[in-house]
Amino acid sequence: MSRSSVESQLVEFATALVENSGGIIDWQSDGSQATAIVPPDLAESLGQHHESFLVRTQPGDEGLVLSLGGEFVDLAARTLRHFVPSVGAFAVDDLPVRKTEFAAAVESSFGWQNARAKVLDGSVMTVPYHAWWFHVTLQSEETWESLVSVTLNARSGVVVPLSELLSLGDLRPTKDAPSDSSATLDLALHVAEAETMRQATPFLQRIDARRERDRKRLQDYYRALQRESSTPNKRTKTVPTAEEIESRQKAVKLELQRKLSELDERYLFSAVLRPIVLAEFRIPAVAIDVEIQRKAEKRIFRVYWNAMLKKMEPMSCSRCLRTSFNFWFTNDTVDPLCSTCHGS
């Protein structure tokens, strides 16, 4: 990432941080520095002694310096915790919802492979969607960090591809708090773990390659020591006995095992997923009940037509929780199975 790109993101972030925390900030035309006027407690949180101070993109004698290498990151993190809420609820109004064609939408979207389906009824309602953001850290010889976001239908628990919801222009903050989030947090963590491993694949491959390189170096070195242990001593010109050779090679082998164990321990990594933001978005939808019959057993599922996506949302596999529109069902409990779980 270029320096100018980093600086522009720092400027954008600092501006939003000040303005969303109750202050104002005015940048010069060249964008090199700005004047901020903030409440006393915000100034103290940002490490400033006065309510009016300079904000700089380059080091200076005074003011707040925007830099990834200085104290700005720690000051910003403290300010975010104290002044910017991490939980909020918003309503998305004025999205058109048509109930008339919901049966056709279900039939054209889903495939019921070993069961009969009967669309029962549909009703227009406001559905809560929980958007979780996680700060992810993988720690080994190096540290890898990222932000992972997961959005779920809070009623069905299905992951829904709704991105950039906070940037919508017609969002309306609501006064009441989000609905119970404990269930969606567990589901979101499960999805975030898989997404973390996907995003971190290059990092993990690099760590594995480095570990294998170090293992090979150790093995090559101790193999050479083993070969030397069975050769005559050049200084004394004595030939070791069979017992001496066996003892030396055993010692070399044990030392190699110890070194390899230390190497594996050094390359172990710890993973931390920390939820940092929850936003609930209340979006109009059509809730549709579908009766599934597998042999003599019947079960009713509720699926959703999303007014923002303008299409049906998928369902989740009862075993792996992956989303799909194509399902098989178990005989006794009529649990939905994706193609992978059905074939396993």
State the pLDDT at residue 233. 64
Half-sphere exposure of 44 (CA within 13 A, CB side): 4
Read off the pLDDT band of 2 (50, 70, 90): very low
How does pLDDT run across 231-256, given as a tens digit for each residue? 766 666 667 777 877 888 888 899 99
DSSP assignment of 74-85 equals: HHHHHHHHHHS-
State the pLDDT at residue 209. 93
Its pTM stands at 0.77
How does pLDDT run across 185-230, given as a tens digit for each residue? 999 999 999 999 999 999 999 999 999 999 999 999 988 888 877 6
Q: How confident is the prediction for the chain on average, in pLDDT? A: 88
Q: Give me the phi and psi of 102, to 5 degrees please.
A: -70, -35
State the pLDDT at residue 1. 41
Q: Which SS3 state, helix, strand or coil, does residue 39 take?
A: coil
State the pLDDT at residue 314. 95
For 214, 255, 259, 324, the CA distances from 219, given in Å and listed in that order, are 9, 11, 10, 47
d(CA 312, CA 327): 15
